[in-house]
Amino acid sequence: MDYFILYIIGGIILLSFIFWVSEKYSKAKNKRRQKRLDEIAYDTLGDFDFNKEKEEIKSIGSRYVSEEYRCPRCGGMMVMRSGIYGKFWGCNHYPECRYTRNIKS
Protein backbone atom coordinates (compact mmCIF):
# COMPACT_ATOMS: atom_id res chain seq x y z
CA MET A 1 0.00 0.00 0.00
CA ASP A 2 2.83 2.40 0.84
CA TYR A 3 4.49 1.77 -2.52
CA PHE A 4 1.25 2.58 -4.32
CA ILE A 5 1.02 6.00 -2.61
CA LEU A 6 4.67 6.72 -3.43
CA TYR A 7 4.01 5.63 -7.02
CA ILE A 8 1.06 8.09 -7.29
CA ILE A 9 3.04 10.94 -5.69
CA GLY A 10 5.97 10.27 -8.02
CA GLY A 11 3.63 10.33 -11.02
CA ILE A 12 2.14 13.64 -9.92
CA ILE A 13 5.60 15.16 -9.45
CA LEU A 14 6.73 13.86 -12.84
CA LEU A 15 3.65 15.25 -14.61
CA SER A 16 4.07 18.60 -12.85
CA PHE A 17 7.68 18.74 -14.01
CA ILE A 18 6.73 17.86 -17.59
CA PHE A 19 4.06 20.59 -17.68
CA TRP A 20 6.47 23.13 -16.16
CA VAL A 21 9.17 22.34 -18.75
CA SER A 22 6.72 22.45 -21.66
CA GLU A 23 5.39 25.83 -20.49
CA LYS A 24 8.93 27.25 -20.25
CA TYR A 25 9.75 25.86 -23.70
CA SER A 26 6.57 27.32 -25.16
CA LYS A 27 7.29 30.79 -23.74
CA ALA A 28 10.87 30.69 -25.05
CA LYS A 29 9.64 29.56 -28.47
CA ASN A 30 7.09 32.39 -28.60
CA LYS A 31 9.74 34.89 -27.56
CA ARG A 32 12.06 33.72 -30.36
CA ARG A 33 9.22 33.85 -32.88
CA GLN A 34 8.24 37.38 -31.81
CA LYS A 35 11.86 38.54 -32.04
CA ARG A 36 12.11 37.14 -35.58
CA LEU A 37 8.87 38.87 -36.61
CA ASP A 38 10.18 42.15 -35.19
CA GLU A 39 13.38 41.75 -37.23
CA ILE A 40 11.38 41.10 -40.40
CA ALA A 41 9.16 44.13 -39.76
CA TYR A 42 12.16 46.36 -39.10
CA ASP A 43 13.90 45.17 -42.27
CA THR A 44 10.74 45.75 -44.29
CA LEU A 45 9.65 49.08 -42.81
CA GLY A 46 13.01 50.44 -41.70
CA ASP A 47 13.22 53.24 -44.27
CA PHE A 48 9.49 53.68 -44.83
CA ASP A 49 8.37 57.33 -44.75
CA PHE A 50 4.99 57.27 -42.99
CA ASN A 51 4.42 61.04 -43.26
CA LYS A 52 4.90 60.99 -47.05
CA GLU A 53 2.47 58.10 -47.42
CA LYS A 54 -0.05 59.79 -45.13
CA GLU A 55 -0.01 62.94 -47.29
CA GLU A 56 -0.38 60.86 -50.45
CA ILE A 57 -3.40 59.08 -49.00
CA LYS A 58 -4.97 62.42 -48.11
CA SER A 59 -4.44 63.71 -51.66
CA ILE A 60 -5.98 60.57 -53.14
CA GLY A 61 -8.99 60.92 -50.86
CA SER A 62 -9.50 64.56 -51.83
CA ARG A 63 -9.95 63.53 -55.48
CA TYR A 64 -13.02 61.58 -54.45
CA VAL A 65 -14.63 64.31 -52.34
CA SER A 66 -16.31 67.24 -54.02
CA GLU A 67 -15.66 70.55 -52.27
CA GLU A 68 -17.74 72.52 -54.76
CA TYR A 69 -20.94 70.51 -54.36
CA ARG A 70 -22.74 70.16 -51.07
CA CYS A 71 -25.71 67.94 -50.42
CA PRO A 72 -28.84 70.09 -50.85
CA ARG A 73 -30.75 67.97 -48.33
CA CYS A 74 -28.39 67.87 -45.35
CA GLY A 75 -25.38 70.03 -46.27
CA GLY A 76 -22.98 67.07 -46.24
CA MET A 77 -20.10 66.64 -48.64
CA MET A 78 -20.53 64.75 -51.89
CA VAL A 79 -18.34 61.66 -52.22
CA MET A 80 -17.61 59.73 -55.41
CA ARG A 81 -19.10 56.26 -55.20
CA SER A 82 -19.45 53.29 -57.55
CA GLY A 83 -22.64 51.42 -58.20
CA ILE A 84 -24.05 48.91 -60.66
CA TYR A 85 -24.67 51.72 -63.19
CA GLY A 86 -21.24 53.33 -62.78
CA LYS A 87 -19.79 56.14 -60.70
CA PHE A 88 -21.89 58.84 -59.07
CA TRP A 89 -21.77 61.47 -56.33
CA GLY A 90 -23.41 60.46 -53.07
CA CYS A 91 -23.82 62.22 -49.73
CA ASN A 92 -21.24 61.31 -47.10
CA HIS A 93 -24.03 61.03 -44.51
CA TYR A 94 -25.34 57.85 -46.14
CA PRO A 95 -27.48 55.93 -45.04
CA GLU A 96 -29.20 58.76 -43.12
CA CYS A 97 -29.20 60.90 -46.28
CA ARG A 98 -29.65 59.09 -49.60
CA TYR A 99 -29.13 62.03 -51.97
CA THR A 100 -27.21 61.15 -55.16
CA ARG A 101 -26.15 63.07 -58.25
CA ASN A 102 -24.82 61.89 -61.63
CA ILE A 103 -21.22 62.68 -62.51
CA LYS A 104 -21.03 65.08 -65.44
CA SER A 105 -18.74 63.73 -68.15
Q: What is the pLDDT of residues 43-81, one digit of tens each?
A: 777 777 778 877 777 666 555 676 677 889 998 888 888
Predicted TM-score (pTM) of this structure: 0.40
What distance in Å separates the CA atoms of residue 3 and residue 44, rounded to the nearest whole number?
A: 61
Query: For the chain, what are the domain ranges?
Result: 1-48, 65-102
Q: What is the mean pLDDT of the chain?
A: 82
Q: Which residues contact 67 (CB under 8 A, 6 or more apart)?
A: 77
Specify the DSSP class assigned to residue 78: E
